A and B are shown apart, each in its own frame.
Chain A
Amino acid sequence: MSAVADTHAQDHHHHGPAKGFSRWLLTTNHKDIGTMYLIFSFTMFLLGGTMAMVIRAELFQPGLQMVEPEFFNQMTTMHGLIMVFGAVMPAFVGLANWMLPLMIGAPDMALPRMNNWSFWLLPCAFLILVSTLFMSGGAPNFGWTFYAPLSTTYGPPSTTFFIFAVHIMGISSIMGAINVIATILNLRAPGMTLMKMPLFVWTWLITAFLLIAVMPVLAGVVTMMLMDINFGTSFFDASGGGDPVLFQHVFWFFGHPEVYIMILPAFGAVSHIIPAFSRKPLFGYASMVYAVGAIALLSFVVWAHHMFTVGIPIAGQLFFMYATMLIAVPTGVKVFNWVATMFRGALSFEAPMLFAVAFVILFTIGGFSGLMLAIAPADFQYHDTYFVVAHFHYVLVPGAIFGIFASAYFWLPKWTGHMYDETLAKTHFWLSFIGMNLAFFPMHFLGLAGMPRRIPDYALQFADFNMVSSIGAFMFGATQLLFLLIVVKCVKGGEKAAAKPWDGAEGLEWTLPSPPPYHSFTTPPEVK
């Protein structure tokens, strides 16, 4: 390990970063790469958010006002793809880059050059993806789930570019995951056994295995599409003897673990933040670890709950219903644990805690709707309506995204050496909280009243709640610019942050000064 640090030092002849643009282009430093991931992710968040604003503007009233249905479909598709692959996943990789070495007492990630490459592939992939908007025939318009044959036989010419972009993102994710696993398994400080690892490290380790397991499946399914579109095969084309339902099985075999890839690291981060601001240890460390493991394993055998209406045989239907309901058990264990941690603590509500508490409450609401969706007969009514849209936005916005905001505020003082502006951060929280609930809660009602998802225009009985939802969405969207302001302010200056700015926080990252030295831990700390 120290050998790595030595060669590194020789490369640079000093312990600080290189100067100018090459610092960023050629960097192998986990903090610089982490920062780039986070900036990239926030950029994509704003871009995907802008598309969401277009969607909500069109849905503000019945009738077509802003965009044509064709473009509307491109917006829903690109919004989904950009948020999932561009905003949420890279944000967690950014957090992993910054925090894993600090949390396990390592100087850097285990594979720094690969780290650089896996980051720089991302802007390339998204350049390709976003450029499809300007191609003749337009961008992908078949939803982020890109079901065949809509995406193959009937897709726009840009579909091949979309496939290429997905391949590049996949390679980037897989390399990122390999790096995470190598780092965690090899670079832990002496004495840090697996069951002493911080939960963020645990959840990322499991997430990385999920990534390695399912990203190749995604690559497989888009390759089959590529063959169908360009090389005359008929994997998914019924008229050539293929099977459109096969597409969905393969896609969701990737897709369901993917939704956990987007939430497990947030589970981990929240499991640090809640004890810190409750000034009380996490209630059940071991059961939290086992719960994450159980969720990850179960996530491989529930995929067809996205396909209850495609006509799978009843035995399959029952199996996937039971398995999906079962996932609620470990998910419940996690929620109960967080609540028990807060119980009889000494709570204070700085911005990270506000986001973390909102995470627990609102994610649980998303879990409840998930449980409802798991009831296969009821899913016949819910499926492909706004009820599903409400469900996944509740688990992803106050789940994944609030988890990311909570982490950002929690660790910003460590990263920058300055405290952020607490008043602004609380404003950011409350506006986000209100806007988000205003935007997504009414979607439950819309779905139950029968509004299908992915439609550019709707029947009149859905008008009222759609308008409320759009107003909430605009509010949520606009509020996010505030976050940019807060971060810029914090980077530029502010009250100096102590090595450990939160009195209740635990972990190796707080033993280093804020900001930490360029090569994090050059001598491994001892963990008792």
Chain B
Amino acid sequence: MRVHAKRAGALLGGLLFPAWSMADWTLNMAPGVTGTSNEIFSLHMTILWICVVIGIVVFGVMFWSIFAHRKSQGHKPANFHENTVVEVLWTIIPFVILVVMAIPATATLVDMYDTAESDVDIKVTGYQWRWKYDYLEEDFGYFSNMATSKDEIYNRQDKSENYLLDVDNPLVIPVGKKVRLLVTANDVIHSWWVPAFGVKKDAIPGFINETWTRVDEPGIYRGQCTELCGKDHGFMPVVVKAVPEDEYNEWVAEQREAAERERELTEKDWTLEELMERGEQAYASACAACHQADGSGAPPAFPALRGSQIVLEDMDAHLDIVVNGVAGTAMQAFGGQLSEVDLAAVITYERNAWGNNTGEMVTPKEVFEYKNQE
């Protein structure tokens, strides 16, 4: 089969072999790296074997009839029907099997729901189409975007090993610690899944779901969003880096410092060029998915920014839309998502990129004041 499929691939798909060398024929679930995922794996295998055994018995009888009881072989039909003993047996036996199965399943479920006594608490927020991780005890947080380029997706470039499963900033957790995840969403429903942990939880706006994991082996674990969340649902991977505790503590210290520096940047005096430079990056990660890299948008759902009246003229309306969003549309309130610096940079960028040469800028301080006057 492998050879055939590959040949078909070569024939029909042209020269995509780099992609093929990476593929594999995994048949089963992997046991994963946490207690939960191992328990789930053993439940999965138990129920699978139960099904296989029942299948062999039922299909065995059926195939026996198909081969031995054919009219073409002159088999004469029996005329039996209704037999209370048989009918009671084939109701009771499956029932007993199910009860036996339900016991370990219940135990695992109780364990999965026990989120008490965690060592680290992290808030996971789903956005269209990226994740945000906030370290609740540590006062910092960041977005995690897919790092696969459009060139790879549109087949202009070879696909890398972790195609679609790579992010700019992975979630970092310490090994051997109980990490509690508080899962929620900002816009639509998403679902945060890392198969190797046996953790999947829906991220629902207005709700905070709890789940937990304890990873014993350091490593990089990959998953994806598993609830349809719009256009780029297939492009919001989850990557978790589990590191030894020392390394984790060091990393946390660095992040805290960086967050501090970021807050200081708000106070700094920015030039138009500096804001434009920063704005281009912020635009690419926060806005381009809908409004496109060249500001052309995808009307009517996502209006063009190039030549837009709000962008060219009305600064207050521009601030309002970016900070507060537009209720009832896909335009989110970015006020809580982006720092003052990034908000100022993005707005400045939009007012001066793609021929929108207004020459106007707004500084992080002004954004800060705008947000606080409300």
Residues of A within 8 A of B (CB): 60-65, 69-70, 73, 136-137, 141-143, 147, 149-150, 153-154, 156-157, 238-239, 242-245, 278-287, 309-311, 314, 317-318, 321-322, 325-326, 328-329, 332-333, 335-336, 339-348, 357, 360-361, 364-365, 368, 371-372, 375-378, 380-381, 383-385, 445, 448-450, 452-465, 467-468, 471
Say how far B12's CB is from chain A's closest CB, in angstroms: 7
Please tell me if B116 contacts chain A, counting CB pairs below 8 Å. no
Known contacts A321-B105, A343-B65, A380-B199; is A287 also within 8 Å of B234 by CB?
no
The contact of B91 among A157, A329, A377, A457, by CB within 8 Å, is A329
Q: Which 4 A-B pairs have the closest CB atoms?
A: A238-B206, A455-B234, A311-B209, A368-B51
* Contacting pair B206 A243 (CB below 8 A): yes
Query: Is the beta-carbon distance between A321 and B102 smaller than 8 angstroms?
Result: yes
Q: Complex: how many Å from CA A282 to CA B230?
A: 49
Q: Which among A61, A153, A371 is the interface contact of B16 at CB below 8 angstroms?
A: A61
Q: Which residue of A lies closest to B110 (CB)?
A: A314
Cβ of B284 under 8 Å from chain A: no
B204 touches A310 (CB 8 A): yes
Q: Which of A371, A372, A458, A461 contacts B24 (CB 8 A)?
A: A461
Alpha-carbon distance A398/B279, docked complex (angstroms): 54
Q: Kindly state the separation between the CA atoms of A280 and B40 in the bound complex, as whole angstroms.
A: 44
Question: Which B68-98 residues have C-beta < 8 A from chain A?
Answer: 69-72, 75-83, 86-87, 90-91, 94-95, 98
Knowing A318-B106, A375-B101, A461-B22 are in contact, say whether A244-B155 is a contact too (CB < 8 A).
no
A321 to B112: give the CA distance in the assembly, Å: 15
Asked if B28 CB lies within 8 Å of chain A CBs, one says yes
* A329: min CB distance to chain B, Å: 5
Contacts of B61 in A (CB 8 A): 339, 343
- Which one of A153, A314, A380, A458 has the highest number of Cβ atoms from chain B below 10 Å of its Cβ? A380
Shortest distance between the CB of B124 and any CB in chain A (Å): 13
Per the bound structure, the CA–CA distance linking A450 and B51 in Å amounts to: 21
Q: List 15 A-B pairs, Cβ < 8 Å.
A: A73-B230, A137-B300, A283-B80, A321-B106, A339-B58, A344-B75, A371-B47, A371-B51, A378-B43, A449-B26, A452-B226, A454-B233, A458-B234, A461-B23, A464-B23
CB distance from B309 to the nearest CB of A (A): 20
A305 shortest CB reach to chain B, Å = 13
Residue B13 interfacial (CB < 8 Å): yes
**Given contact pairs A62-B164, A136-B300, A450-B195, a sample of 16 additional A-B residue pairs in the complex whose CB atoms are under 8 Å apart:** A61-B13, A73-B233, A137-B300, A154-B128, A278-B69, A284-B81, A325-B98, A336-B58, A345-B69, A361-B62, A378-B47, A448-B27, A452-B193, A455-B224, A455-B233, A457-B164
Contact of B77 with A326 in the complex, beta carbons under 8 Å? no
- State the B residues within 8 Å of A (CB): 1-2, 5, 8-9, 12-13, 16, 19-20, 22-30, 37, 39-40, 43-44, 47-48, 51, 54-55, 58-59, 61-62, 64-66, 69-72, 75-83, 86-87, 90-91, 94-95, 98, 101-102, 105-106, 108-110, 112-113, 128, 152-155, 159, 161-165, 187-189, 191, 193, 195, 198-202, 204-207, 209-210, 223-235, 298, 300-301, 327-330
A154 touches B230 (CB 8 A): yes
Instruction: Using A60-B13, A332-B90 as known contacts, say yes or no to A278 and B77 having CB atoms under 8 A apart.
Output: yes
Candidates A157, A242, A364, A381; contact of B55 at CB < 8 Å? A364
A232 to B168, CA, bound (A): 39
CB distance from A176 to the nearest CB of B (A): 30
A468 to B2, CA, bound (A): 9
* Contact of A380 with B228 at beta-carbon distance under 8 Å, contacts A449-B26, A454-B233 already known: no
Tell me if A377 and B8 are in contact (CB < 8 A): no
- Shortest Cβ distance from A323 into chain B, in angstroms? 11
Nearest chain A CB to B245's CB is how many angstroms away? 27
Collect the chain A residues with CB atoms within 8 Å of residue B1's CB.
468
- A346 close to B70 (CB less than 8 A): yes
Q: Which residues of B contact A280 (CB under 8 A)?
A: 77-79, 81
Closest beta carbon of chain B to A148's beta carbon, Å: 8
Chain A residues with CB under 8 Å of B72's CB are: 348
Instruction: Compute how far the CA of A239 lies from the CA of B187 in the bound complex, rounded to whole angstroms.
Output: 10
Query: With the chains together, A335 CA to B227 CA distance in Å?
Result: 33
Q: Indicate the member of B30, B37, B55, B224 with the most A CB atoms within 10 Å.
A: B224
Q: Decide if B113 touches A360 in the complex (CB within 8 Å).
A: no
A347 touches B27 (CB 8 A): no
CB <8 Å contact, A463 and B55 = no
B12 CB contacts on chain A under 8 angstroms: 60
Which of B59, B159, B234, B327 is within 8 Å of A460, CB to CB? Answer: B159
In the bound complex, do residue B44 and residue A346 qualify as a contact, i.e. CB atoms below 8 Å apart? no
> Judging by beta carbons under 8 Å apart, are B69 and A464 in contact?
no
Q: In the assembled complex, how far is the CB of residue B91 from the closest CB belonging to chain A, in whole angstroms?
A: 6
Q: A343 to B75, alpha carbons, bound, how many Å? A: 11
Task: Please indicate the chain B residues that have their CB under 8 angstroms from the CB of A157 in the complex.
Answer: 300
CA distance A412 to B309 in the complex (A): 65
Of the candidates B27, B81, B223, B229, the one whose C-beta lies within 8 Å of that of A450 is B223
If the complex has contacts A377-B109, A468-B1, are A360 and B87 also in contact, measured as CB distance less than 8 A?
A: no
Docked CA distance A421–B226 (Å): 46
> CB-nearest residue of chain B relative to A342?
B65
Closest to B46 in A: A375
Option from B5, B76, B78 in Cβ contact (under 8 Å) with A468: B5
Complex contact B90–A336 (CB within 8 A): yes
With A377-B43, A381-B195, A385-B226 as given contacts, are A321 and B22 in contact (CB-CB < 8 Å)? no
Q: Answer whether A314 and B109 are a contact pair too, CB < 8 Å, given A137-B300, A239-B205, A378-B43.
A: yes
CA A157 to CA B302, docked complex, whole Å: 12
CB distance from B119 to the nearest CB of A (A): 22
Residue of A nearest to B98 (CB): A325
In contact, B5 and A328 (Cβ under 8 angstroms) = no
